[in-house]
Chains A and B, each alone.
Chain A
Amino acid sequence: MRAHELTAAILAPPLAPIGHGDRQLVRHNLTNAIPAMVENLPLGDQVVVTLAMLRQVARDPAALSRPEEPFAWKPAFVRRSLGLSAMDACINHRFSSPTEAVGPIADQAVSEWSRTGWRTFHWEPWIAALHPAARSAVMAEAATWATTLWSSIDWHRFDSPLGLGGPDDQWACTAARTVRLKGRSELQVPLEATHGGGAESTALVSVAAGIPRTGWETELGFLALVASLRSPSRPVPSRVVGLWPDAGQYRSVDITSGVLTAAGDRVIACIGAVVDARMSMVV
């Protein structure tokens, strides 16, 4: 995978935006199907659908029936947040490479947290309490993650300011049990509008470990779906590009009504699998 090829794929002229009617239809399908699926779940239960869960249901559905391990911080959970901050600092010319940036950025975040008690990213208290060597392991993980992404893209080709990370897109479905869809992309790239009206257009870039597997189109489409549901007044992202640095591969999907519909169907199937697994554990 060459940086200029991936960058060109991200910046390719977008297709015509999806019509309001098509968008509404996908939303309607979801709001129609989901409430009935979750009504028998135990009171207070909730279902959160993420890209990771979609992939898990497709590849290891048995994992849904295994008890969840209690959350504990790991370097892999910090690398994205710290790595994106380091890349942001590089884009703004504060540092020349992510390796240089991660240490100062982590120190700055920890001291900011110590000073204010405010949790910007939420990992600060954890790494503040770590042994210095363990902290360096966290930094190494973030530096490697960010360096790989940094060297995969030709950053000079982006004319407009990029979004890096940022809050997840979220949409909650009105139902007896809470169902939330959460979409997370690493980059949000403004695209040059080529259609009448000059509508705002965006490409999302999603970074994943491993190798692209069957169903990658709807998985990437899921991120556009959540963005579309979250804010009906905001245009649907025109494109989602998936990057698998371990494999040196990328995939790009232009968002059409067909892709959104397929992503919606995948969400419904995923919720069905989650509900079945939980109900089997209850019984």
Chain B
Amino acid sequence: MLVMDIDRREEKGGAARRETAESKSRVMGSWTPLAGDALLDRLRVTGRPRPLADPDRAARLRETIERGLAQGTVANQGGPRDQSPSPTPLVITKDRLTRALSPGVHHDAIGFGVQPPTTPMACGALIDVLFRQLVTIGSIGDPMSDGLAALALDDRQAHLIAWIDSLSGTERGTLAAEVDRQSIALVNRWPTLDPAWLPRTQLPIRVDVAAGAVELSGRVDLAIGRPGLNVASVAIVEVKSGTRRPEHRKDLHFYALIETLRSPAPPFVVATYYTRTGELDIDPVSDELLAAAVRRTVAGARALGQVAEGAAPSRLPDQQCGKSAVLPGCRPGRQRVTADIGGYRR
């Protein structure tokens, strides 16, 4: 892959440029978000050697997952691989994993129910489609108009669009102002990606484990680089319109795990880009990161498996309450959300 070859040749120079860019961005003690080439360099040059393709790595990870699941109940749902996999696998997404591992397991942790819309959720959905548009055609017109037009193509967003339509003028104005602000920053900072780097947006990735009893599934906001080479060449980027949260990194580690299981090599880096602030969190992918992702995935799968088997979830409120489909009927959850207002959160 072009980007890989160039990257490796430029590793040293890139590191130097990154240092310069970061120094510049701290001029006068104030932090300035990275933009353009500096942002791209930060993404491409991790300072760590890139993992090599290793068929044994994926086999080992898969075996560890399956061994972990075998100690729970979920692995018994399927038959031998390619013979009689479970017709309804336990599907694990990053959101379900996070919810399942939250201190209070929500009643809807197992489901995919429609979440009650919120302004941050609407902002996040709009920024997601605007980011995709920027990567694909290199520009954004009127952010609200563009965002709503793109969202309207997705049936799953009909509920959210109806909710946006129902907002008062003031509420809609607040949403539009935030979407405008983030979009302008995005256009100013996000680098142009060479088509030769094979950018893929909203890329579905999924693998089955435990003979089809469990499916790990994700949709990556942006993947760059050619897969299937001898050296890791793919970078995965998630875009967030809200504030930083620890679980965002874990989300990306989960994606790194899926990509490793479905490709000859892991991604060399996973990153979260915060459009609200321009922060870029980078995690070079290592065997340690993948091992931790396996442990978390197994723990989450077991928790979800228990909920699926009818174990009563607790009603301890936590930071996931705002996303819960049963929030309207959950008093502790509502109290938590009311007490938890503060900035935009996804």
Contacts and interface: CB of A to CB of B under 8 A. Distances in A.
Interface of A: 1-3, 59, 74-75, 96-97, 99-100, 103, 130-134, 136-141, 143-144, 147-148, 150-152, 209-214, 216, 246-249
Contacts of A130: 149
Contacts of A140: 132-133, 135-136, 201-202
Given A214-B83, A247-B206, A96 B196 contact: yes
Contacts of A99: 136, 195, 198-199
B226 interface: yes
Nearest to A60: B87
A134 B201 contact: no
Interface string B117-137: 000000000000100110111
Interface on chain A toward B: helix, strand, loop, or mixed SS?
Answer: helix
A269 B200 CA distance: 38
Contacts of B196: 96-97
B264 A2 contact: yes
14 contacts: A132-B141, A133-B133, A133-B141, A134-B153, A136-B132, A139-B137, A143-B200, A147-B199, A151-B226, A211-B206, A211-B215, A213-B85, A214-B85, A246-B205
Nearest to B203: A144
Contact of A136 (B85, B136, B208): B136
A131 B133 contact: no
Nearest to A216: B82
Most chain A beta-carbon neighbours within 10 Å: one of B135, B137, B153, B215: B153
Contacts of A136: 132-133, 136-137, 150
B195 A137 contact: no
Interface of B: 82-85, 87, 129, 132-133, 135-137, 140-141, 145-147, 149-150, 152-153, 155, 195-196, 198-208, 212, 215, 226-228, 262-264
Given A59-B87, A211-B208, A151 B198 contact: yes
A59 B85 CA distance: 11
A233 B87 CA distance: 39
Most chain A beta-carbon neighbours within 10 Å: one of B146, B152, B228: B228
Contacts of B226: 151
Contacts of A103: 137
A137 B200 contact: no
A147 B200 contact: yes
Nearest to B53: A2
B9 to A, nearest CB: 20
A99 B195 CA distance: 6
Given A211-B207, A247-B207, A1 B199 contact: no
B149 A131 contact: yes
A137 B203 contact: no
Nearest to B155: A74
A143 B145 CA distance: 23
A90 to B, nearest CB: 10
The 6 closest A-B pairs by CB, nearest first: A248-B262, A133-B146, A131-B149, A99-B195, A140-B136, A97-B195
Contact of A1 (B147, B200, B263): B263
A247 B227 CA distance: 13
B145 A139 contact: no
B137 A75 contact: no
A75 B153 CA distance: 7
B228 to A, nearest CB: 5
Nearest to B230: A2
Contacts of B147: 133
A75 B150 CA distance: 10
Contacts of A1: 228, 262-264
A271 B254 CA distance: 41
A139 B138 CA distance: 12
A214 B206 contact: no
A211 B136 CA distance: 27
Nearest to A213: B85
Contact of B201 (A132, A144, A209, A210): A144
Contacts of B149: 130-134
Given A140-B132, A214-B84, 13 more contacts: A96-B196, A99-B136, A99-B199, A103-B137, A133-B133, A133-B141, A134-B150, A140-B133, A140-B135, A140-B202, A147-B199, A151-B198, A248-B262
Contacts of B155: 74
A115 B98 CA distance: 52
A214 B82 contact: yes
A72 to B, nearest CB: 8
Nearest to B1: A151
Most chain A beta-carbon neighbours within 10 Å: one of B82, B205, B215, B226: B82
A59 B136 CA distance: 35
Nearest to A95: B195
Given A131-B145, A137-B153, A213-B85, A249 B262 contact: yes
A148 B275 CA distance: 26
Nearest to B217: A246
A131 B137 CA distance: 14
A192 B96 CA distance: 49
A195 B147 CA distance: 57
Contacts of B201: 140, 143-144
Most chain B beta-carbon neighbours within 10 Å: one of A132, A133, A211: A133
Contacts of B84: 214
Contacts of B137: 103, 136, 139
